[in-house]
Structure 1
């Protein structure tokens, strides 16, 4: 196999150096803020297995650029809300760092949960499971 020009770890480090990272305790404190939109980019199976942040919007990683772009046929209105703070998360903060860096390149302002969902429940954040929803 040919040697990579850039490793995944280097890409994540470069993304983290230029995006806003939100600590878990700070996002827990913002959880009930109506001006904060938490976006979960994990796979649906991850959400089923480990739960999700109540009120979070699920946007699979593979579609996020298209869902954010108002010119895309896949655009989602949730991403067009003025005055909202968008905080993206994955399991450990790697995918969300890359996602937010890409969205910044597109001109979409967002932050990400630095350590991901892996620390959310451990630090007292509420968790829902799909079978608990009405």
Structure 2
């Protein structure tokens, strides 16, 4: 049995996806050019706060909520024509999630390097 480590999966994902920093993300967000998607679990948001006006889609539901043909699609929740900018706590889950969205056919996808840890040290407003 040849099982890839989670570190290998993240490393492979990072070679295939777009990674942006918090300044780039903030510009996209403030200019209304992206859907800022927090994929952390609800308990993480409750504990550390969330980015004001961001969208929360738990990692486990991301593909289901963004599948327009699926029963769980959240119609009208996101602008499907804008860039999907994902973040998690530190940037590992969001790298895997961005790769998954690319595999689904989303062309304009990125994730924020350093995740919420970096965001909380930036000019994003945390509520």
TM-score, normalised to structure 1, is 0.86
CA RMSD of aligned residues (A): 1.7
**Runs (4+) off by over 6 Å:** none
Q: Across the two proteins, how many residue pairs are aligned to each other?
A: 126
Cα distance, 1:89 vs structure 2: 0.6
2:14 is matched with 16
1:120 is matched with 119
Show structure 1 runs of 5+ residues with no match: 129-134
Show structure 2 runs of 5+ residues with no match: none
If you compute each CA radius of gyration, which structure gives the higher value, 1 or 2? Answer: 1
Deviations 1:47-98 (A, max 9, x none): 1111111111100111111111111100012466353111011000100000
Deviations 1:92-127 (A, max 9, x none): 010000011011111023111121010112123210
TM-score, normalised to structure 2, is 0.90
> For the residues of structure 2 that align with 1:80 and 1:26, how far apart are their CA atoms?
20
